[in-house]
Structure 1
Amino acid sequence: MTKPLEGKIAAVTGAASGIGLATTRALIDAGAKVVMVDYNRQALETYAAEFGDAVVMQVTDLLDAASCAAMVPEILAKVDHVDILHCNAGSYIGGDLIDTDTAAIDRMLNLNVNAVMKNVRDIAPHMIERGTGDILVTCSVAGHAPIQWEPVYSSSKWAITSFVQIMRRQLKNHGIRVSQVSPGPVVSALLADWPAENLEKAKANGSLIEPSEVSDAIIFMLTRPRNVTIRDMIVLPTNFDV
């Protein structure tokens, strides 16, 4: 039986861990070839050995301006087209703003916001020329609610929510769907920066979800008929109290 994404080529940033890795696995299971984008060459090599011909490695440091700018051209030199771009790479800062290092603020905004905008800007002409494509961004429930213990992170995700809404309108007449997935707390390395008391509380009451539960939502979004766009899907642990 034909798989729903058979023949599609996807590029996933932050693909070597967390939601990006889960999405890579889910895309492969759905029949797609995946360009795994990450700064961690060693991790990419490990997964390339595991996944074989189903993946293509792309080493990119999204926080390096030259590396970020080269990402799309380098991908298109390795594959003949890109059907799906999943802008997933991101970082997290929690805690009071006055306790946050300003360099860390720059890093977060560059990764969570600026790199996403640059990646979308760079892939859009390719998809416009082909008259089709899917751009999907990992956002967060923090992009829909003012989370008081994470002012920088939450603000970065609010910016992405706005960006996705605008780009959906700009690109929809070119056959390109633009959407985001907005998880609640996911078991991943990002939670290492959560306030300890919040993390322990979430673990105790079942307020966390697995990356695979987010990738399930992503596959659902990508496999809708082309006349349907799931602009945003909020995926929450049932016991998450926000």
Structure 2
Amino acid sequence: MAGELAGKVAAVTGAASGIGLASAEAMLAAGACVVMVDRDEAALKLLRDKHGDAMILLVIDLLDPKSCATLLPAVLEKAGQLDILHANAGTYIGGDLVDADTAAIDRMLNLNVNVVMKNVHDVLPHMIARGTGDIIVTSSLAAHFPTPWEPVYASSKWAINCFVQTVRRQVFKHGIRVGSISPGPVASALLADWPPEKLKEARDAGSLLETSEVADVVMFMLTRPRGVTIRDVVMLPTNFDL
């Protein structure tokens, strides 16, 4: 895919690890200038050492409203334009609802839903003025199936899928494509609370996706002809069964 995104500027949230990092690296390989948005400054600096000046670092705490609001102005200051937003940052809560910490519920809903809405809200005027743009949101298989072991997380992703589908219908007339990627279990930091034996069993059984596989689908979405929008992609490990 070398050169397919040449001249494009992309911003990826939650870019220091996991799906965000894999997506950013795939865009870099395709020739894009990528603004890496994350609160982990140390991790971002290590990535800059690896990838050089094509990768622009942007340290933002998306859960802080004032910091979150600086995303687009900072991208424009550093890169001059924004063609692609991958709203990827998110967190996870699993288990029984009665065992969940309510502060953690607030934090997860804020990051998985409110922050995504605010980021998209803030970049849309710029994309509308330019008459083009791509917005991809990292959703989840949990947005398509009422997974009983993660009611809070699943609810956040159901909400964001509705957001993607409704906003897409508002902005396609401006040349802006909006879509979501909904992977099943991915070998990333979001599975940090899985017991080691469960993680090993899942890997051995081939029931986990790799972040690079998700990034491949993100690139597929971004490189379709402008008259084609991939609105929703659900990705399953072949050996996965709900």
Return the TM-score normalized by structure 1. 0.97
**1:87 and 1:190 mapped to 2: Cα distance?**
16
Which position in structure 1 is the counterpart of 2:169? 169
Which residue pairs with 1:75 in the alignment?
75
Which residue of the partner structure matches residue 108 of structure 1? 108
Q: Deviations over 1:167-224 (max 9, x none)?
A: 1001100000000101010000110124677545423421101100000000000000
Alignment of 1:1-242 (within 5 A): 3-194=3-194, 199=199, 201-242=201-242
Q: Distance in 1 between matches of 2:179 and 2:141?
A: 14
Conserved 8 A contact 2:36-2:55: yes
Q: Secondary structure at the match of 2:62?
A: coil
**Cα distance in structure 2, aligned partners of 1:25 and 1:89:** 16
Letter of the 1:37 counterpart: V
Task: State the alpha-carbon separation in 2 of the partners of residues 2 and 179 from structure 1.
Answer: 23
Q: Secondary structure at the match of 2:228?
A: coil
**1:94 and 1:195 in contact (8 A); partners too:** no
Unaligned runs of 5+ residues in structure 2 are none
Distance 2:173 2:11 in 1: 22
Counterpart residue type for residue 148 of structure 1? P
Matched position secondary structure for 2:241:
coil
Instruction: Describe the shift of the 1:105–1:195 C-alpha distance in structure 2 as closer, same or farther (beyond 3 A).
Output: farther
Q: Distance in 2 between matches of 1:197 and 1:172?
A: 45
Looking at structure 1, the residues matched to 194 and 109 of structure 2 have their Cα atoms a distance apart, in angstroms, of 18
How many residue pairs get aligned? The number is 242
Q: 2:2·2:30 contact (CA, 8 Å) conserved in 1?
A: no
Tell me the CA shift for residue 72 of structure 1: 1.3
Which portions of structure 1, spanning 4 or more consecutive aligned residues, are displaced by more than 2 angstroms? 193-204
CA-based RMSD: 1.4
Unaligned runs of 5+ in 1: none
* Structure 1 stretch displaced more, 186-195 or 79-88: 186-195
Kept after mapping to 2: 8 A contact 1:34/1:55: yes
- 2:192 aligns to what SS in structure 1? helix
Provide the identity percentage.
64
Q: Cα 1:236–1:111, aligned 2, differ >3 Å: closer, same or farther?
A: same
How far apart in 2 are the matches of 1:25 and 1:115?
Answer: 23
Give me the whole-angstrom Cα distance separating, in 2, the residues matched to 1:166 and 1:194.
34
Q: TM-score, normalised by structure 2?
A: 0.97
Q: What is the CA-CA distance between 1:79 and the residue it aligns to?
A: 1.2
Q: Distance in 1 between matches of 2:179 and 2:27?
A: 17
Kept after mapping to 2: 8 A contact 1:90/1:108 = yes
